[in-house]
Amino acid sequence: MARQPVSTGAFTLHLQDGDWRLAFDAFVHDRPGELAEICSFMAERNARITRFDFNRSEDPHMVEMEVALPSAEAAGPLARDASKVQRLFSDKLADKNQDVKGFTEPEGLLRLKVQLKDSPNAMGALAELCRSHHANIIHMVYREEENPNLLAISVAADSPEQAAALLRDMNERDLAYHVEWTGKQGGDMGRILGLNEVESFMVRLKTILPPDKHDAAEDLLNSTSDLRRILSEFRRQAGETGESLAASEVFTKALQLAAASATKTGSRFALTCTGPLRITQRLRLSRLACPTGANGYLITDGNSHLLIDSSYGLFYADAMQSLVSQGVDPSRIELMLLTHADADHAGWAAPLQRDYGVRIMRHPHTQAVFESENRAEGAHTRLCALNRAYTRLVNRFSDLQVPERMEDFPPHPQGGELGGFPVIGLVRFQDLELTVLESLGGHAPGNVFFLDARRGLLFSGDYLIDVASLADRDKETLSLPRYLMTSTNADSRVFSKEMDMLKALMRGLAKHRAEQAIPRVFPGHGAFYAVGEANW
């Protein structure tokens, strides 16, 4: 006679195919040997595991289980014993707040299908074997009804040698298994069951970063739990939206950035110089573009130099060597101006100051962005925490350092506003006069624009970019800002408004300019262009 399932708290008891089945969620500590212990716990109590589902990426502390018992009466003692040793899943246990060990060695990853021997604790014996070889189980699934004695398991060893030793030991014990995937075979790391997106990202980084970047990867690994928490919290708040999709792409995009940047140094580095272009009677301008990152604008009279923005810090040494080979003496750079604190714009500031004593000028809020390592510092957006994780990733892999000394812009004698933007400073260099306009906050905290109103020259940072002039690589790198509000938009509505204001300002200067100079926009990415040719 069929019996209805009986549920008591965390347990559900029902009769199936002549066996009493007890289903429950089991708690495991995040430490080696835990899965072996819980399997042995069941075997010692004559409970045959019929379903075992552990997915570390979803929850490193929970196993969804079902066991077959010799009688209904056996369920009570098993439940009591499980409660005594804290095997009932609980959100209140302090262990859940501990950091989770991540994985960075791709060749130590294995995904296997194993034919278990017909013995009471075959599953526990295999789990113990993995522990003895320092192979951490990241995914283990067994469903007796679907595939009797067939276990799917993914493990991460500390090295490929340890993974190989595990397989040799399995052979010696006559375990029948099939290796479905190994890290040596490459492929999409995201397909490795049991790796969460942070761990998958870290594993992939190990395959493309040069050795001198591995320490930075390990440092980031130490905050894996924090990064996972940030992503989970963001998804709960954002739901199935464009921003939510962006959250899952953050680490992939940062990976692309690291791969494209870290592999373009040394003999693979190439500095693209566009110019020189005469912008005043005494000054010439050259656009400096590295393989990735933003434009730097070198303005010179042939003797002293002004630099507006730059690229990533990891390109600094190669870029300086390239400038020297082209007859430019970096020691003659007197002043550097920053439009904002992003690593791709500010990467050369600290080393230039360290090596040549270059003065650095920036908006006062830039200091807070540097110190917090959060490009959304002060922005009122739910993406603030996510941007902190993103900022730290980019800063580590691009070698961003913070200058020891930075100055405010000299005050403008008239102040007021221009084109709807507050006028907060005036920087003079030779016969160039740059009015400093403060952004309304649409892109990033402390963002400014530099404008020579008399000649119609605007240094716009990440505004008014000529997308058609970007290389495909640059378009891919910059695609994330479309989703992350504080990547190009601290406030998308304000950002759109500012774009229209800048366009109107430049059109007005082009129409009523006092000199015969051609009004131009010098954006942070892509080519500079004449306002009259703009595709606005």
CA-CA distance, 208 to 106, in Å (whole number)? 11
| Stated pTM of the model | 0.70
Report which of 406, 449, 454, 415 is spatially closest to residue 431, judged by C-alpha positions: 454
Backbone φ and ψ of 404, nearest 5°: -70, -35
Averaged over successive runs of 10 residues, the pLDDT of the chain (536 residues) comes to 50 85 87 89 94 85 92 89 74 44 67 90 94 90 92 88 91 91 61 58 66 65 56 53 53 66 88 96 97 95 96 96 96 97 95 98 94 81 69 83 96 95 98 97 91 96 87 60 43 86 94 77 95 89
Q: Note the residue count of the chain.
A: 536
- CB of 466 closer than 8 Å to CB of 295: no
A 10 A CB-CB count for 325 gives 9
What pLDDT does 119 receive? 86
What pLDDT does 232 receive? 56
pLDDT digits (tens, 9 = 90+) for 276-321: 999 999 999 999 999 988 999 999 999 999 999 999 999 999 999 9
What own/partner pairs with CB < 8 Å and gap ≥ 24 does 492-499 have? 492/442, 493/442, 494/440, 494/441, 494/442, 495/442, 495/443, 496/442, 497/440, 497/442, 498/421, 498/439, 498/440, 498/442, 498/443, 498/463, 499/463, 499/464
